[in-house]
A = this chain, B = another copy of it.
Amino acid sequence: MQRTRLDLARTRAARQVIDPVFLDTPLYRCEALEPELGCAVSVKLETANPVRSFKGRGTEVVAHQLAAGGSRAVVCASAGNLGQALAWSGRGRGLDVTVVASRFATTAKLDRIRALGARLELVDGDHELARDRASELSRHHGIRLVEDSLDIETCEGAATIGLELADAATPFDTILIALGGGALATGVGRVLKAVVPHVEVICVQPLGAPAMTRSWHRRRVVTTDFTDTIADGVAGRRPLPEVLDDLLQVADDAVLVREESIVAGMRLLLDHAGLVVEPSAALGIAALLEDRDRFAGRHVVTVVCGSNVDMDAHRRWTGTAPHRGT
């Protein structure tokens, strides 16, 4: 096993401090999807919890540590899911939570961050500007900055999904993981490569936000000037070198998918699995749709990582149904 920043023993220990509501999430075959996709498909469903994404696994670890160390406040930048999860985890432990987000972030996510009692500061720019501002607030107020994918707790929190997948009763061949900052991919990938190394780990990113995927292929950080995707949860422009190093150790491939495939994936998950998902959570299905030959006959697991989506947009995207079957 090659080395990454992630530690398997710490990941196992993380399970002890994460609220069980985020753990042992459903993993099941969705046979009704399979005629459209040409392979066996299972979903690991990370949406059936109080914050509707996998991010609670990481924020629980962070908030536990902060509370144990006597901290009173914490700040993060977020496209919405990390902020919501940190607001939830912080509220339960008496922490003052500040979330910095782009004013273009998904409204449903911003509403929930406010509803959970966090202070929300919006910046007039994209997620990278929010990261800069959160860093500034952290320095100015001397409070902990949670940096998604850089802070090892966010990766090892996500990696607890890998522990559950490695324990799956039914073996599988391939895992498809949404790639944004990299916490989910490096976390899950690290555990699978250690425990079930035959499982192929494939990261999926939108063509409209390809920075980390390009970086993985070139084995050095590649940034982009802008992003253009509906998959708000994975729309970063500046990959972190530490995270890229980890990703290079655990990913077998990283692929880019078109926007129309993401929409088709959301529609398939709605029509044939009854699942409302946010665009980032449909990236795996999008990858299957774009390369049926590659996955034909395999058993593929995809992590349905979040369902925080503006329902008006979701209705617009999924309203007509060319993929609806028989």
Contacts and interface: CB of A to CB of B under 8 A. Distances in A.
A307 B273 CA distance: 9
A13 interface: no
Interface of A: 20-21, 24-32, 45, 47-50, 52, 111-112, 115-116, 169, 270-271, 274-276, 307-309, 311, 315, 319, 321, 324, 326
A46 to B, nearest CB: 10
Contacts of A326: 111
A20 B50 contact: no
A28 B21 contact: yes
Copies in the complex: 2
Contact of A112 (B32, B169, B324): B32
Contacts of A311: 270-271, 321, 324
A311 B272 CA distance: 9
A31 B274 contact: no
A115 B26 contact: no
Given A26-B26, A111-B326, A311-B324, A270 B274 contact: no
Given A47-B274, A111-B326, A25 B26 contact: yes
A251 B47 CA distance: 32
Contact of A274 (B169, B309, B324): B309
